[in-house]
Structure 1
Amino acid sequence: MTLDTTPTILIVPGLRDHVAEHWQTLLQQKLPKAASVPPLEQDKLSCAARVAALDAALAKIDGPVILVAHSAGVMITVHWAQQHNRKIHGALLAAPADLEMPLPAGYPSIDAIAQNGWHPVPRKPLPFPSIVGASRNDPLAQFERVRAMAQDWGSRLVDLGEVGHLNPAAGFGEWPMAQTLIRELL
């Protein structure tokens, strides 16, 4: 019997959960060893509920894990990392949403975000290797603020250029660079 040491890719979606044409959903379908944090049925804006859902998804996986987070999923990941000790092989943190700044119309207010436990954004170094992919024209986060977060987390910053929020609204379904960055974490 051989021990499988290939990491499982665990998708950590943002507040809008699973979108069929999103790069995370498409990536999960392509990878032989991938799973996703399931959508919440209640307490959808609760940071604690989101962190608990990530922890429950991790509990179902034996062996090494690479987290692939997007938007508020990045914040879920960094909150989780401050509270739990499970060894993580690495993390791709794409287009983090800056939940300490007001978000565009259609997103929760900064007060609602604060009331649901998202503040402050953890700034301690992450206990695993990580890559932050940052957009220069993301409506949910200013590049320089994301750069500062990446530095605080001890993450390698990858400047993605002007890719908006790296979602279907910004023209992204497939995002081939995700696989390249994940390979760097292997």
Structure 2
Amino acid sequence: MKTSDCDILIVPGHTNSGEDHWQSRWERQLSTAWRVEQENWDAPNKDAWVERIVRDVERAKKPVVLVGHSLGVLAIAHAAPQLAGGKVRGAFLVSVPDVERPDFIPAIDRAFAPIPREPFHFPSILIASRTDPHCDYAKAEDIAYAWGSAIVDAGDAGHLNTESGHGPWPEGLMRFAGFLKRL
């Protein structure tokens, strides 16, 4: 599949993805990409976030590929059971947060717990770092296996966001292109 063959839905996490974040750059760079806009990026509401994803998938004109980062990954996981029917062709997931961890940000992201464990009905890939402060690699790997996602070890890469030096993230874009090719 080529980018022109699908609608690419960018699903950011808590506080949205800033202008220099790789998701924002991809949205500007890929002509069929658009952001799933949430009403409140600073106080995430799981049900509202899931509803927006489902609505945007329904209004897409082409097959959909989801691109989630951080809490957006969990929003996609919670939405997955409502995305049956074949319109979603794949999900490219980056830096899942472990919202089940006792020391995680209380009241904000914990609303997304427990982490869904049902397999997705579409192909997916989860990219995880060995040094992500929001999720241990072993937990990310366990989540990927539960979802039926391929797991990619990003090495010592932090949370794969602007703060960890992944603004442009050309390696991620190449990995995304390879993922699309297999869909």
TM-score normalized by the length of structure 1: 0.87
Q: Secondary structure at the match of 2:115?
A: coil
Structure 1 match to 2:99: 99
Mark the CA change 1:43 to 1:84 in structure 2 (over 3 Å): closer, same or farther. Answer: farther
Mark the CA change 1:98 to 1:59 in structure 2 (over 3 Å): closer, same or farther. Answer: same
Mark the CA change 1:173 to 1:42 in structure 2 (over 3 Å): closer, same or farther. Answer: closer
Structure 2 match to 1:172: 166
CA shift at 1:82, angstroms?
2.3
Paired residues, number: 177
Match of 2:138 among 140, 144, 150: 144
Identical residues among aligned pairs (%): 34
- For structure 1, list consecutive stretches of 5 or more residues without a partner in the other structure: none
Contact 1:71–1:94 (Cα < 8 Å) also in 2: yes
Structure 1 match to 2:89: 89
The ranges of structure 1 where at least 4 consecutive aligned residues each deviate by more than 6 angstroms after the TM superposition are none
Give the Cα–Cα distance (whole angstroms) in 2 for the partners of residues 96 and 180 of structure 1: 20
* Residue 135 in structure 1 maps to residue 129 in structure 2: yes
Q: Secondary structure at the match of 1:62?
A: coil
What is the RMSD of the two structures over their aligned residues, measured on CA atoms?
A: 2.0
Mark the CA change 1:26 to 1:42 in structure 2 (over 3 Å): closer, same or farther. Answer: closer
Letter in 1 for 2:89: H
Contact 2:93–2:126 (Cα < 8 Å) also in 1: yes
Structure 1 match to 2:12: 13
CA shift at 1:183, angstroms?
2.0
Contact 2:71–2:109 (Cα < 8 Å) also in 1: no
Written as runs of structure 1 = structure 2, the 5 A alignment for 1:1-186 is 6-41=5-40, 44-87=43-86, 88-102=88-102, 108-109=105-106, 111-114=107-110, 116=111, 118-186=112-180
- For structure 2, list consecutive stretches of 5 or more residues without a partner in the other structure: none
Contact 1:36–1:57 (Cα < 8 Å) also in 2: no
CA shift at 1:103, angstroms?
5.2
Mark the CA change 1:41 to 1:138 in structure 2 (over 3 Å): closer, same or farther. Answer: closer
Mark the CA change 1:101 to 1:89 in structure 2 (over 3 Å): closer, same or farther. Answer: same
Deviations 1:15-40 (A, max 9, x none): 11131111100111111111110132
Q: Secondary structure at the match of 1:89?
A: strand
